[in-house]
Structure 1
Amino acid sequence: MMGIKRLSLKSNEEVLQLLSLQLASYQIEAKLTGASQAQMLPDGIQSLRAAKESFLGFFKLTGGKKVICGAISYSRDGSVVTICRLMVHPEHFRQGIARSLLDYVLADQRAKRASRFVVSACAANLPAVQLYTSSGFVERRTITIKSNITLTTFERSADS
């Protein structure tokens, strides 16, 4: 059984599950990009709760227990939606979870009259870059944010 559901981040259990997922996912991204773990994971319980983002989780039923396998967060400013985070637990890579989460947000926000979507990814994170470009996002700019991290920003219109 699979499903996407909104995360409230009100319970410690839910926040800790998200942090654990983020840690596992970002460890892989750090290896792909050459970034340090500290550069990739600045969050804690309080910062996640204080984030001005909407969070969705992708859940599977495993051994009778609901397990979070992936998550996405986004913010909205007028009609522009920014994808802030997209993560999948390494045990669940290559199962279409990232694409399902991204497609869900794109469809949901188009229905709510979003006009444009924006997302940034480390240029060295080729799986993320491939996901966004295959989903209709176009590269807009690339900047170096630290000596070893290059960030690419992608955009797409809601009509794409």
Structure 2
Amino acid sequence: MILKVSIQDEALAEEILKLQKRAYKVEAELIGCNRIPPLYETLEQLQQVNELFFVYMKQDVISGAIAIEHKHAGIHICRVMVDPSSFRKGIARELLTYVEELAGNNTPLFVSTGANNLPAIRLYTAVGYEQVGTKKVGEGLLLAQFIKK
């Protein structure tokens, strides 16, 4: 079940932050760079973002989450997180589909991931995202950027 949640709920925000750190630790290992900003985000910083959060609940446990921002060009998917114990169970795909349904047919969606994060890149291309470029965002951190129209 996917639910919209408030990141202002401190207990929930703590759960999401723990999930974020577990998920992005795996990405850091995959791309060979531990300078991924979500790994170092504090609870206070997380609660200050201007993003809408949705969680994937399985047996009253958050197994995944996605966060989006509405911008003038479309919807930016800011975070896609799945607990490593739930990898390869379709959770990220379900979260993406949910956001796409919210967006409707005429709203472009944007997402990025580490350029060497092959599992994420395969997922995004499999569900119709097109890679539109790469962007260096820090020492050793290269992001692959995608759009779905």
TM over 0.5: yes
Select which of 141, 149, 159 maps to 2:141. 149
Residues 8-87 of structure 1 mapped to structure 2, 5 A cutoff: 8-36=6-34, 39-61=37-59, 66-78=60-72, 80-87=74-81
The AA in structure 1 aligned to 2:132 is R
Contact 1:80–1:114 (CA<8 Å) still a contact in 2? Answer: no
Residue 116 of structure 1 aligns with which residue?
Answer: 108
CA distance in 1, matches of 2:41, 2:106: 28
How many residue pairs align between the two structures? 149
Structure with the larger strand share: 1
CA distance in 2, matches of 1:103, 1:45: 27
Identity across the alignment (%): 34
Find out whether 1:104 has 2:92 as its counterpart.
no
Compute the displacement of 1:119 (Å): 0.7
Partner of 2:112, secondary structure, is strand
CA distance in 1, matches of 2:36, 2:90: 28
Q: 1:29-48 CA distances to partner (integer Å, 9 max, x unpaired)?
A: 11001111664523111111
CA distance in 2, matches of 1:47, 1:14: 14
Compute the displacement of 1:79 (Å): 5.6
Contact 1:137–1:154 (CA<8 Å) still a contact in 2? Answer: yes
Summarize the Cα distance change of 1:16–1:125 in structure 2 as closer, same or farther, 3 Å threshold: same
Structure 1 regions of 5+ residues with no counterpart?
Answer: none
Structure 2 regions of 5+ residues with no counterpart?
Answer: none
Partner of 2:137, secondary structure, is strand
| Larger Cα-atom Rg | 1
Partner of 1:139, secondary structure, is strand
Compute the displacement of 1:109 (Å): 1.1
Summarize the Cα distance change of 1:123–1:6 in structure 2 as closer, same or farther, 3 Å threshold: same
Contact 1:15–1:45 (CA<8 Å) still a contact in 2? Answer: yes
Partner of 2:17, secondary structure, is helix
Partner of 1:146, secondary structure, is coil
Question: What root-mean-square deviation, in Å, do the aligned CA atoms of Structure 1 and Structure 2 show?
Answer: 1.5
The AA in structure 2 aligned to 1:127 is P
The AA in structure 1 aligned to 2:107 is S
